[in-house]
Structure 1
Amino acid sequence: MSIKDNLEHIRGRIAAACARSGRDPDSVRLVAVSKTKPAAMIDEAAAAGQIIFGESYVQDFLGKIEEVRSKPEWHFIGALQSNKVKYLRGKVVLIHSVDRLSLAREVDRQWGKLGRTVDILLQVNIGGEETKAGTAEEELKNLVRRTAELPNVRIRGLMTLPPFLDDPEEVRPYFRRLRELADGIRKLGIAGVEMEELSMGMSHDFEVAVEEGATLVRVGTAIFGERERK
């Protein structure tokens, strides 16, 4: 199948998951995970109507944006080191992976140089896995409060990378928990904090994520095929 066919198939699956859960399909946006993929494949997806592309490696991203002919909406979805934030400044619309105050402060500092505000999501390590980034659940509210004080970042929601489990139904509780955490933060009424976005779900489990409230699903393999090792 072509990238266009893959995109149409995924959009159909998203719409079906929305129908099962009584949601408007327009409330879910597809992030095409284009890390390690060449510019030509991104342009092909863009020509098929894909708008948002997610990158995880700063250096790879910087080389790619010079080659991509289309004008996509870029999101950064990977683990981010503070010393690499400056390279993303002004180039991405949303950072999904802010998981500590020091990183939030550096994002704030870099976008402050532009006199602009950038949207971010706070990444939560719901599975408590040592190999994955993300703030712990018990630290989340404090991170929200402290990050909300920064003038050049705007918290739009939460992101998680749950444990990889073969059966998507086994992942459902993690997605549900992220939605519950977002609901709890929303009730705090912290100025400038929105919980409109839940970034969760990948190629093998995005339908369950949609059923549990995902607004951004990050799909790579099901669009572009197996990714190259980086």
Structure 2
Amino acid sequence: METLKANVDRVHQTIEEACYKSERDASEVQLVAVTKSTDIDHMRRLYDLGERHFAENRSDQLLERQEALADIADEIHWHFIGRLQSRKVKDIVNQVEYIHSLDRLSLAKEINKRARKPVKCFVQVNVSQEASKTGFPPELVEAFIQELAEFPHITVVGLMTMAPYDASEEDLRTYFQQMKHLQTQIAEVGYPHAPCQALSMGMSQDYAIAVEEGATMVRVGTTLFEGA
């Protein structure tokens, strides 16, 4: 428990320091604990430490965790961060608050069809243009968002990206700055269905840089559970 608490405290401290460096308020940044590789005991400990935003990347595991944590599941903000197969949408769309991986029109249609209320979605952007990653190239993002106006059960709260794992700090800053510029550009249009105020970027290896460059949500897993 002490190791986990120390890890959590260290991550929050890193976020605060990054906010200070970039003259931001730390309250603007939400830590999302990526729990996909840990167990129920550690998830309960995270909850006891005050964390309320948990992320999973597999639909079956998400449902299993919610069942195992039934006594507190309603108090947790659940995020789905993996690539979502259209056939799995019906299983999880009404079980999560956020979907970070809206990456194609067919998925948007299925979410809209299956959701009982608006779902907070992040449009996935392949800012580094990696062949191995899904998501829209930056120049196609706004056109896709415009298409989503016909889907009342989708609210585009922001954009999401994953930077290359081995990118240099200089490249990371370039990618994250591009994302911040794109997010601001779309937010300024004022689409009713796409306020686009949030920016989900930064993981264990690069979240401090992401925060410095404008992230409002960071998805951290390995760093939280290391040694715990």
How high is the TM-score relative to the length of structure 2?
A: 0.93
- Name the CA distance, whole Å, in 2 between partners of 1:212 and 1:206: 10
What is the match of residue 90 of structure 1? 94
What's the offset of the Cα at 1:100?
0.9
1:54–1:77 contact (8 Å) kept in structure 2: yes
- Map 1:168-187 to 2 at 5 A: 168-187=169-188
- Once the two structures are superposed, residues 114-144 of structure 1 have per-residue CA deviations (whole angstroms, 9 ceiling, x without a partner) of 2x11110100001111111111222211110
Aligned pairs for 1:40-189 within 5 A: 40-68=41-69, 69-71=71-73, 72-111=76-115, 114=116, 116-165=117-166, 167-189=168-190
Cα deviation 1:135-164 (Å, max 9, x = unaligned): 122221111001122111111010001111
1:213-228 counterparts in 2 under 5 A?
213-225=214-226
The AA in structure 2 aligned to 1:168 is E
RMSD: 1.4
For residues 3 and 148 of structure 1, what CA distance do their matches in structure 2 show? 42
Aligned-pair identity in percent equals: 38
CA shift for structure 1 position 166: 5.5
Instruction: Classify the secondary structure of the residue corresponding to 1:126.
Output: coil
Could you tell me how far apart the structure 2 residues matched to 1:200 and 1:150 are?
25
Higher deviation after alignment, 167-176 or 28-37? 167-176
- Corresponding residue SS for 2:184: helix
The residue that corresponds to 2:200 in the other structure is 199
The residue that corresponds to 1:4 in the other structure is 5
Q: Tell me which amino acid in the other structure corresponds to 2:176.
A: F
Once the two structures are TM-superposed, the CA of residue 54 in structure 1 deviates from its matched residue by 0.7
The verdict on how the C-alpha distance between 1:169 and 1:6 changes in structure 2, with shifts beyond 3 A counting, is farther
Which one-letter code corresponds to 2:163 in the other structure?
A: P
Q: Is the 8 A contact 1:94 1:118 kept in 2?
A: yes
The SS at the match of 1:198 is strand
Deviates more, 1:146-155 or 1:209-218: 146-155
Secondary structure, counterpart of 1:119 in structure 2: strand
TM normalised by structure 1 equals: 0.92
SS of match in other structure, 1:75: strand
CA contact (8 A) 1:169 1:208 kept: no
For 2:118 and 2:190, the matched residues in 1 are separated by 20
Q: Could you tell me which residue of structure 2 aligns to residue 37 of structure 1?
A: 38
Q: Which deviations, in whole Å up to 9, do the C-alpha atoms of 1:39-86 show, x marking residues without a partner? A: 111111111111101110111111121112433211001111111111
Unaligned runs of 5+ in 1: none
Deviation string 1:173-228 (CA, Å, 9 cap, x unpaired) is: 111111111122123332221121100001111011001100000000000138xx
Whichever residue aligns with residue 59 of structure 2, its letter is V
